[in-house]
């Protein structure tokens, strides 16, 4: 089941939780001084909205120029460790555009940056275990063991539904349910596609 909507103020919270942008950080800092003034609430809200829109347009502009699609970046990261699966991925524009991919296998978690133009690994790999994750991240990753659909499958469905190219994806908890959220660049807009993944049936989980 899919629910496709253009990004609105509520879903932007999910978007910015998935994608860490240098542009967003800079824009937020520029708004901070405005928010200090008690009589500037309306102006600060407007400035915040403008800053977010500027950040989105900057990301879209950068994203249009890259050569490596998100699905390929996920595959590259998964091939680094046999049997691993992508848990989440985001497109970032810091010094150069990269995909930051987190993959998991059993108790191990790896985070790698994939150059969005060459597909090469950039920077150092970060390795951790499930025990080192915070409660929210741990819950999401453990939930993936009971989900039939993989993130790569969700990306394909979302790109088709939104008629665009994905630039971020992962699991979110919404209204007590875990859903895949895929952010898709479609024209001059970002669209958020929510997918409720099918879970493994009881008959599968009861085997010893």
Model confidence pLDDT, tens digit, residues 174-185? 777 888 999 999
Prediction pTM value: 0.78
Nearest residue to 53 via CA among 99, 10, 22, 7: 7
Indicate the burial class of 10 (C-beta count within 10 angstroms; 0-12, 13-18, 19 or more): exposed
* Chain segment 86-122, per-residue pLDDT in tens: 999 999 987 889 999 999 999 999 999 999 999 999 9
12 vs 206, residue with greater confidence = 12
50 vs 17, residue with greater confidence = 50
Q: Which token pair is 180?
A: 């895949």
What local confidence, expressed as pLDDT, does residue 201 receive?
53
What local confidence, expressed as pLDDT, does residue 51 receive?
81
């Amino acid at each position: 089941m899919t629910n496709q909507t253009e990004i609105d103020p509520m879903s932007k919270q999910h978007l910015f939780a998935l994608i860490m942008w240098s542009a967003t950080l800079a824009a937020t800092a520029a708004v901070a001084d405005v928010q200090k003034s008690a009589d500037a609430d309306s102006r600060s809200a407007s400035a915040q909205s403008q800053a977010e829109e500027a950040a989105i347009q900057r990301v879209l502009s950068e994203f249009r120029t890259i050569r490596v699609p998100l699905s390929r970046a996920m595959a590259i990261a998964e091939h680094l460790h046999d049997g691993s699966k992508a848990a989440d991925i985001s497109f970032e524009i810091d010094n150069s555009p990269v995909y930051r991919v987190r993959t998991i296998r059993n108790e191990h978690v790896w985070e790698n940056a994939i150059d969005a133009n060459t597909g090469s690994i950039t920077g150092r790999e970060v390795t951790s275990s499930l025990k080192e994750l915070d409660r929210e991240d741990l819950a999401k990753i453990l939930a993936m063991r009971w989900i039939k659909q993989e993130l790569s499958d969700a990306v394909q469905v979302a790109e088709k539904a939104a008629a665009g190219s994905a630039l971020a994806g992962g699991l979110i908890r919404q209204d007590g349910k875990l859903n895949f959220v895929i952010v898709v660049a479609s024209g001059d807009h970002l669209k958020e596609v929510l997918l409720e993944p099918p879970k493994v049936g009881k008959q599968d989980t009861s085997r010893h």
